[in-house]
């Protein structure tokens, strides 16, 4: 396992809302682009507002990951 600092796309959902998915992204720009696409998909069609419980954010976190850059443990940066 290797430790590094990366921009991570975080998805919170469920009942109660909790962190369920997270993936390492190449840079902040790519993370924000993925976040926008997810938010547009959640809104659906021409709707301007999403009223569901899914929350998506990008954060710079220190994580432990495997050789395929799959996160095995979040070390710091998540409040």
- Give the tens place of pLDDT for each residue, 25-75: 999 999 999 999 998 888 887 777 777 889 999 999 999 999 999 999 999
CA distance linking residue 68 with residue 62, whole number of Å: 16
Domain boundaries, the chain: 2-76
The b/e string for 34-55 (b: 16+ C-beta within 10 A; e otherwise) is ebeeeeeeeeeeeeeeeeeeee
Across 11-32, average pLDDT: 95
| Residue 48 pLDDT | 73
pLDDT of residue 34: 97
* DSSP state for residue 28 in the 8-state scheme: H
The pLDDT score that the predictor gives to residue 79 is 76
Residue 76 token pair? 């710091």
Q: How far is CA 75 from CA 9, 25, 29, 39, 53, in A?
A: 15, 17, 23, 27, 26
Span 1-12, average pLDDT: 96
pLDDT in the model for residue 51: 78
3-state secondary structure (DSSP) of residue 61: strand
């Amino acid at each position: 396992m290797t430790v590094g600092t990366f921009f991570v796309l975080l998805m919170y959902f469920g009942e109660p809302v909790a962190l369920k998915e997270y993936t390492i992204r190449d840079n902040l720009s790519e993370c924000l682009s993925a976040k926008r696409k997810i938010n547009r998909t959640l809104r659906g069609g021409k709707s301007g507002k999403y009223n569901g419980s899914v929350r998506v954010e990008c954060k710079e976190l220190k994580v432990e990951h495997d050789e395929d850059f799959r996160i095995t443990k979040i070390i710091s940066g998540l409040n």
